[in-house]
Amino acid sequence: MRYAVLGTGIVGRTVAARLVSLGHEVVIGTRDPESTLTRAEYADWQAGQPEVRLATFPEAARYGEVLVNATGGQASIAALTEADSAHLDGKVLIDIANPLDFSQGFPPFLDPANTDSLGELIQRSFPGLRVVKTLNTMNCQIMVDPARVPGDHNVFLSGEDPDAKKTVRELLSSFGWTEASILDLGGIETARGTEMLLPVWLRLMGSLGHADFNFHIQGAHPAP
Amino acid sequence: MRYAVLGTGIVGRTVAARLVSLGHEVVIGTRDPESTLTRAEYADWQAGQPEVRLATFPEAARYGEVLVNATGGQASIAALTEADSAHLDGKVLIDIANPLDFSQGFPPFLDPANTDSLGELIQRSFPGLRVVKTLNTMNCQIMVDPARVPGDHNVFLSGEDPDAKKTVRELLSSFGWTEASILDLGGIETARGTEMLLPVWLRLMGSLGHADFNFHIQGAHPAP
């Protein structure tokens, strides 16, 4: 499968590397590739990932059969606008971003939140996309390797399109997520709930002193 | 210990009954006791719980050595205002309410949320209280009987006063919560995170079709 990962931060790089390791063709999208390559952290990673091609947002979006939104949540709409609707329509977008706003310091707040969500905002803004919100409730190392946290824990799905969700379930399965670990919450509106997990996640990281944890819904018995 | 449980809904009744079963003296507070007794649901319960005395908010608050806020989150400030600061100062308030606003239908939104929380609002409004937010992230049956959900799962603590937290830990322990299951997130500001778990909790209840589940932080290794 041809994947376009939008966003060159640690989340995008981690997902891109994992997709390559699974045999997929991966382009990673950024606003300005030349500028991105001047960031030592990115350049070092790119040197070790020669299979991943760095491209502009529109080039990446055109290339990808499935898109992954790993941009910062406050920059996602701008990135997708730049990617161009012509390259988005009909495609599955796996939205793993969170609309955290750190402009007022720590703790960040969410914008939007409560009566809206980034997942819904993206779906409304780009109605041709088939948005599935998932993986946004954990550290990126766990996203692509759930066994990193021993024991049972969960990943959530929110989205309107059953076929898109099926595509995402298959990808999650290839990452190591079991069927029982995937909890489908319903339509994209339910992304409000998973995005609103971030504040407690950040506090837990602070009080536990590490990020190798994940939410587990004890007592969940999803329909088979 | 003398407990005052503010709120006569299912949450307040469940906590009050459990406190009585543990040998505590319990008054349950309401705005208008006569009116509360005309509610068949309440009257039926009261008939089976003769040890619990129904009283006005100020009477209940004066009586209680420890207070439990089990009012609806949108009514909590009014209830505590009616209870009178003279009866609150210096006391521990266990805040198990959530500021869910159903006025626009389902799903409810939270008010306040994101940059504030009910826990903080109560602490700010009644600085003489020692507020500990806890138990607000699960069904009331599980609050008082965690073994109802098999396996490990967690309860969170937020608050400013270490002695108040110690009092609450002892109560949680008597309910059946193990030391390892109690995750202290820090100050009362962290109540934002736990209150913001409610939207996903409500969606999970919808998708699972039951409320016998709870959040478990898999991979949490709290300091011993």
- Over the stretch B49-94, which tens digit does the pLDDT of each residue have? 999 999 999 999 999 999 999 999 999 999 999 999 999 999 999 9
Task: Identify the CATH number of the domain in which residue B185 sits.
Answer: 3.40.50.720
User: B175 lies in a domain?
Assistant: yes
Q: Is the pLDDT of residue A221 over 80?
A: no
Residue A109: HSE in the Cβ half-sphere, 13 Å Cα cutoff: 14
Q: What are phi and psi of B56, to 5 degrees?
A: -70, 165
B159-187: average pLDDT: 98
Q: How far, in Å, CA of A97 to CA of A80, rounded?
A: 13
Domain span including residue B37: 2-208
Sign of CA pseudo-dihedral B9, B14, B19, B20: positive
Nearest-CA residue of chain B relative to A214? B218
B213 in any annotated domain: no
Which pLDDT value is given to residue A224?
Answer: 43
**Alpha carbon of A64: minimum distance to chain B alpha carbons (Å):** 31
Residue A199: closest C-alpha in chain B: B193
Convert A187-204 to b/e letters by CB count within 10 Å (16 or more is b): ebbbbbbbbbbbbbbbbb
Tell me the C-alpha distance between B167 and B94, whole Å. Answer: 10
What is the count of residue pairs from A and B with beta carbons less than 8 Å apart?
Answer: 137
Residue A98: closest CA among A134, A45, A150, A142? A134
CB-closest option in A197, A210, A219 to B214 = A219
Q: Is residue A218 part of a domain?
A: no
The answer to whether position A92 is within a domain reads yes
Asked whether the beta carbons of residue B199 and residue A192 sit closer than 8 angstroms, the reply is yes
Mean pLDDT in residue range B165-183: 98
* Predicted local distance difference test score (pLDDT) of residue A29: 98
A113 close to A192: Cβ distance less than 8 angstroms: yes
The 3-class secondary structure across B173-195, one letter per residue, is HHHCCCHHHEEEEECHHHHHHHH
Q: What is the pLDDT of residue B129?
A: 98
Q: Which of A107, A149, A194 sits opposite B200 (nearest CB)?
A: A194
Report CA-CA distances (Å) from B98 to A159, B130, B141, B218: 27, 18, 16, 24
Domain count of chain A?
A: 1
**Which of A113, A201, A217 is opposite residue B204, by nearest beta carbon?**
A217
All residues of chain A having their beta carbon less than 8 Å from the beta carbon of residue B188 are none
List, for residues A185-202, the tens digit of each pLDDT value: 999 999 999 999 999 999
Question: Of the candidates B190, B192, B208, which has its C-beta nearest A220's C-beta?
Answer: B208
Which of B7-21 are b and which e, b meaning 16 or more Cβ less than 10 Å from the residue's Cβ? bbbebbbbbbbbbbe
Average pLDDT, chain A: 97
Residue B217 within any structural domain of the chain: no
B170 and B176 Cβ atoms separated by less than 8 Å = no
Confidence of residue A40 (pLDDT cuts 50, 70, 90): very high
CA distance A39 to A172: 30
- Residue A222 in this model has a pLDDT that exceeds 90: no
Q: Is the residue at A223 inside a domain?
A: no
B27 exposure class (CB count in 10 Å sphere: 0-12, 13-18, 19+): buried
Nearest to A158 by CA among B82, B179, B101, B203: B203
| pLDDT above 90: percentage of residues in chain A | 98
> Closest by alpha carbon to B175, among B86, B96, B74?
B96
**A115 to chain B: nearest residue by CA?**
B109
The separation between CA A152 and the C-alpha centre of its own chain, rounded to angstroms, equals: 21
pLDDT band at B224 (very low <50, low <70, confident <90, very high): very low
Q: What angle do CA A149, B151, B195 make, to 5 degrees?
A: 75
Site of tokens 């909590």 = B76
CA terminus-to-terminus distance, chain A: 28
Whether residue B191 is contained in a domain is answered as: yes
In a domain? residue B152: yes
**B11-45 pLDDT, tens per residue?**
999 999 999 999 999 999 999 999 999 999 999 99
pLDDT band at A223 (very low <50, low <70, confident <90, very high): very low
Task: List, for residues B87-128, the tens digit of each pLDDT value.
Answer: 999 999 999 999 999 999 999 999 999 999 999 999 999 999
Q: Which residues of A touch B (CB under 8 A)?
A: 107, 109-110, 113-115, 149-153, 156, 183-186, 189-190, 192-194, 196-197, 199-204, 206-208, 210, 212-223
% of chain A exceeding 70 in pLDDT: 98
Read off φ and ψ for residue B207, nearest 5 degrees.
Answer: -80, -30
Q: Which residue has the tokens 């989340």?
A: A11
What residue in A sits closest to B184 (Cα-Cα)? A207
Of B150, B209, B213, the CB nearest to A217: B213
B186: left (phi over 0), alpha (psi -120 to 50) or beta: left
Residue A161: which H helix or E strand, with range? none
With an 8 Å Cβ cutoff, the interface of chain B facing chain A consists of 107, 109-110, 113-115, 149-153, 156, 183-186, 189-190, 192-194, 196-197, 199-204, 206-210, 212-222
Q: Given CA atoms A135, B118, B175, B14 in this order, what sign does their dihedral have?
A: negative
Distance CA A62, CA A179 (A): 31
Q: Residue B94 — φ and ψ, nearest 5°?
A: -90, 110
Structural contact between residues B88 and B80, judged by C-beta atoms closer than 8 angstroms: yes
Q: Is residue B125 within 8 Å of residue B150, measured between CB atoms?
A: no
pLDDT at B80: 98
